[in-house]
Structures are given as structure tokens and as C-alpha cells.
Amino acid sequence: MSTSDKHDSFRGDVYDLIELQQLLKGPHHIIFEGKSPYQDVLLIETKNIRLYRNDQLVWNSLDERIYHEALVHPAFVFSEQHKRVLMIGDECGQALREVLKYSDVCHVSLVSLSPETLIAAQKTPELCELNEDSFFDKRVQIDQSSIYDFLQTNQHQFDVIIAKLPDPDTKQDSKLYTKEFFKKLSNLLTVCGILVVTSTSPEDNPLAFWSIDKTLQSSSLYTLNYHVNVPWFGDCGFHLAAKKRLVWGKEKKINIQNRTLPEDLYSWFTFSNRVRSVRNQAMVNSIRSLNLHTLFSANSKDVPDQDETKELRHLLSNPHRILYEGGTKGDCVKVLETSDVRLYLDKQLQFSSLDEQIYHEALVHPALSMVQKRERILIAGGGDGFAIREVLKYPDVKHIDLVDLDPLMIHMASNIPKVANLNQRALHDKRVSVHQKDIQVFQKEQKEPYDVIIVDLPDPGDEILSRLYTVEFFKKLSNLLTKDGILVCQSHSPEYAPFVYWSIGLSLKGTGMHVRSYHTEVPSFGDWGFHLASKKPLHLRNRKVAVPYQTLPNDLSTLFVFPSKFRSVQENSHMNTLSNLKLHEIYNQELRR
């Protein structure tokens, strides 16, 4: 834990702060709030509403404002006037909510791409509350025709066109991103009008992203591209297009009321060298050469549909409320409400009750399924009790030492009913010994070895925490392992902080232990990584989890497979030692990036 007294500071991803500020502006209940010598602790409960179409998450109330404010407001800054607006595909009215903030908007035409979603939004009071009753504004006209019929019959032009399109993962949806379709939209733009088109992620699918850009340019439009990190979805791309050149200058400001936009959007319009490097390979998508769905499928993240389906099953197996369910194959809509309990430490998200089980099952069970004996377990950090909950599923576990420096964490996990219920009162189990102590002090006092050591410490955001990820510290922990024991260490994200992730792995290898790396998708945090370390080589074949679980794959070996882009920085990782302590610097550099 950090011993910093700067409680107004913040040591996490900037989007943690944006999320927290947004939650505090909406309906919420603060369950617990406190300040220890080590950190600020905030436990907050909100209602989380999610819309699924064909079992795929479309948006969730936690961060939809980040997405929709990013979709709407840059286009409106560029547009010289906003009298007439066309919206395509905004069936839930959240982008419409942002459009209607502009007093000079006189007319909005809305054309649905999912009729069932539009029905759900109009019939569900919770969705009307989210979109601030935007459908009932007298300036809004909902067109009942298909988008193709609308483009064929409409005689009016628009100052702003917002095309919120589905991912081009099928041949049919790919037609919405063709040269011909964009040309029809261009014909509806005024001379000074602005078109904004949702896109694929430039980080995850740069070739498809630049191909959409090139297709827009082939429709005689100038383009300007940007991207935004939306916590639950990751990096999201957008394209601005117009009949005149577009340049985002630092003088451009968004002066409309919003909850999530940074004061300076300039960084949104910059891209990494890796993303820019494939731009020349982009292809034009046309009716005669319909290729975008192929590019999208070939370059998307590994099996994202399976991740979202797994998450939906997990939510449905826990307390929830179905607000709406209906539709037919291809347009089946489900609106789900769940309670979301979130813990923030120094304004950095520590867990969400919606998916903490995904993280903690991945943290605990690979290690415990590989050891021959699991009588004695040490958990460093993990004062919330969730890792203990998973360990206690094993009947042969006889003793667990939990070591956490912060007394507030231990108090909260033991005595606050919401948290104690989530961890199943794990800290009260007679097999658990709780030590409110620095792990470095604790390990010096121990003589008896452990079968498994679980390192669930905070990210190395400062020099003090960086010392807990050094070769020297890991070596001392390895001395507490039995000869057949396994150490597992949470290691941040191999996707968003790959240098941090692989540097922790390299530091573990610096102890002389054998290391195996793995990762899983945790929606609140994105792709999250772990390392296993042991004194003997680790074998992954035929490893099964012998206790109840909800979110792990049946074959654990799939967790140990990484996309090539995740491994591409591994050779440049840094071994973190007391004499060359740099992990906290790398951590902060990657967060800024």
C-alpha cells in the first residue's frame, strides 16, 4: 500500500476518475467512506443498466456518457450551425440527449437500425430516465422507414449527421460502411455540414479503422479521425467527415454542459506508431468489393463474442432484474439492471461486484489447481476477502495467512455487510489468520513454508509500491515456498500496460524461478494479466479446477495464449531491482500514454 499523504492525488487510470465523478453525479449510495494513513477508501453502490442485442453488450449505464459525449460534441464544435440534425442508429436516445443540449437545434430526424431497441427504449422508464426523455422533445421526428428508404426519399439537407452504426462484422452490416452509402450521406450534408461515423477500435483493429477512413475519403469527403477509451469497451474509434478540410486545433473548446469530456481533446486525435503503420494497407469498401466484414473478423480481438456471452451468463446467474426482453432472431433485445458495488482506493477502481469474480477466480484457481498440496496459503494484499473466498472452496486448505497493511480494508471486508456478503464472510473463517502488517515485515518473521503464495498487491504506482515488485522481494517470497509450491502475482494489463506486465514477469524470472504468464478479460479493467512462478517447471496440460466456479474456461491452458501484439514488447521489458528501481516510472508513463 502507498504511504502517501496526498489524498487528493490519484494513482490510477484517468478513466477511473471520470467514472467515479460520473457515478457521484448520478443516483448512488455511499456505503462506506474513510481515510487511513495509507489511502482514501470509498465504497459506492449504483444501479447498473445494460442493453444487450443478440446477447452482445451495446452499452452500459456506467460509461455510456463517455461514449455518447465523445460521439456528439466534437462534430458540433466543427459545425458552423446545428439547425437540422440527422441521427442514424441512436435507438436509445443517449446521443440524442447530447444533441438536444444545443439550443439552436430546430429539427432532428432519427432513423432506427434496430426497431426492437427503439421499442425497448420507449417502453422502459429506466431508459427514458437515462436519455432524459429525449424522444418526447418536440424537435425530434422518428422516421419509421428503413435507412435505405429514408435516403431514397428524403429531400432535406442536414448540418450534422450522426451515424451510430453496428460493428461491420457481417456482410449486411458491412454495407453500411460502403463508398455508395457514404456518398448518399454526403449528398444530405450542407456545404459546411459535418458527418460523424462510429468506427472500429484503432488499437484492436487498425486495418478496418483506416479502411473506413479511406472509404469516406473515396466518397469525396475530407476526414479527421479520433479515438476514446471507454472503460467497459476499451478503445473506440470515430471518423469526422466534411466537404472541407478539418483540423482540430488546441483553440477548439467544447462549451456545452457535459460530465466526462476533458478540457483539451487534442490527445484524442493522435495515434500510436503501431496504429499509424498499417494506414497504407487500408482498402476501400464498396458494394462491388465488399471486404470490411472480412477485415473486421480477421483483425478483431480473440473471440470477443464469447467473452461477452460469458459475462452475460455470469450476470444472469447473480441477482438481477430484467427491465425489457423481446424481439426476434437478429434483433433480440434484453435490458438488464444489476446492483454494482464498487470500491475506489485513492480514486482508483479496486473492484466492481459485477465482475470481481472473473478476476479472483483467475487469480486463485490456476495456481491452486496445479499444486499437489494446498494446506498452507499466504495472501499478500487482498484485504477485500475475495481471494480468500475462492481459496476456502478447497476442503484440504488448513490455514490461510492474510497480510494487508490497511486496517480500513480489513474492517470493511469483515464488518460492512455489503462486502462481507460478497466475500461470503471469508475473514471470519476459523482457518483464516488476519495480519494488519506490511508484507515485507511479515515475510521476515515467517519460518514455516507455504504451498501457495498469492500476491494481490496494488499496482506499482509509486516508489514504495514498486519495491514490492522487485527481484529481491520476490526472492524473499520464493524462500517461503515449499519445493513444489507456486506463487501467483497479479501484474496489471498486458494490453494497456504491456511494459509493466512483462517487466513483472521478468523480475520474477530474475529470482531463478520458472514463470508462466496468463491473462483474462475483466470488463471493468479490460484484459488483465497474472504470472505463475515456481521452483519447478509448470505443466499446463489437463489442468482442471476441482471446485465450483462460474467464469473460468474449462481448459485453463487457453488463458496462457497471448495475441502476438501483446508479446511484441516483451523483449523490451525491464527487470525491477532495488538498485535499478524503475517499474513505477514505467507504470506512470504507460498510464499517461
Q: How far is CA 515 from CA 134, 169, 241, in A?
A: 54, 37, 49
Return the SS3 of 543.
Answer: coil
The H-or-E segment that residue 350 falls in is strand 348-352
What letter would DSSP give residue 10?
-
DSSP bridge partners of 333: 53, 326
Residue 545 neighbours by CB under 8 Å, 6+ apart: 365, 369, 552, 556
Q: What angle do CA 53, 54, 57 make, to 5 degrees?
A: 50
Q: Which residues contact 23 (CB under 8 A, 6 or more apart)?
A: 44, 46, 62, 342
Q: What is the distance between the alpha carbons of residues 522 and 550, in angstroms, rounded to a whole number?
A: 13
Does the annotation place 314 within a ligand binding site? no
Asked whether residue 156 is marked as a ligand-binding residue, the answer is: no
Q: What are phi and psi of 365, to 5 degrees?
A: -75, -35
Task: Say which of 63, 167, 456, 527 is annotated catalytic.
Answer: 456
Rounded-to-integer distance, Cα 556 and Cα 519, Å: 10
> In this structure, what C-alpha cell is assigned to residue 139?
424537435
Place of cell 492474510: 402
Asked if 133 is an active-site residue, the reply is no
The grid cell for 396 is 484440504
360 in a known ligand binding site = yes
> Cα(first)–Cα(last) distance of the chain, in Å?
24
**Phi, psi for residue 493 in degrees, rounded to 5:** -100, 125
Any idea which residue has 438488464 for its cell? Answer: 336
**39 marked as part of a ligand binding site:** yes
Q: Is the dihedral of CA 48, 551, 303, 319 positive or negative?
A: negative
CA distances 227 to 74, 217, 230, 257, 268, Å, are 11, 18, 9, 21, 5
Rounded (10°) angle between helices 14-25 and 64-78: 100
The response to whether 155 counts as a known ligand-binding position is: no
Q: Where are the beta strands (DSSP E) in 90-182?
A: 107-111, 140-143, 158-163
3-state secondary structure of 200: coil
Which residue from 365, 369, 411 is spatially nearest to 390, judged by alpha carbons?
A: 365
* Alpha carbons 584 and 465: distance in angstroms, whole number: 8
Helices of type H across 188-317: 206-217, 273-276, 292-299, 304-316
Q: Strand (E) positions, 413-449? A: 432-436
478 CB-side CA count, 13 A: 21
Q: Which residues are catalytic?
A: 456
Binding site residue list for S-methyl-5'-thioadenosine: 39, 404
Binding site residue list for spermidine: 68, 360, 384
Binding site residue list: 39, 68, 360, 384, 404
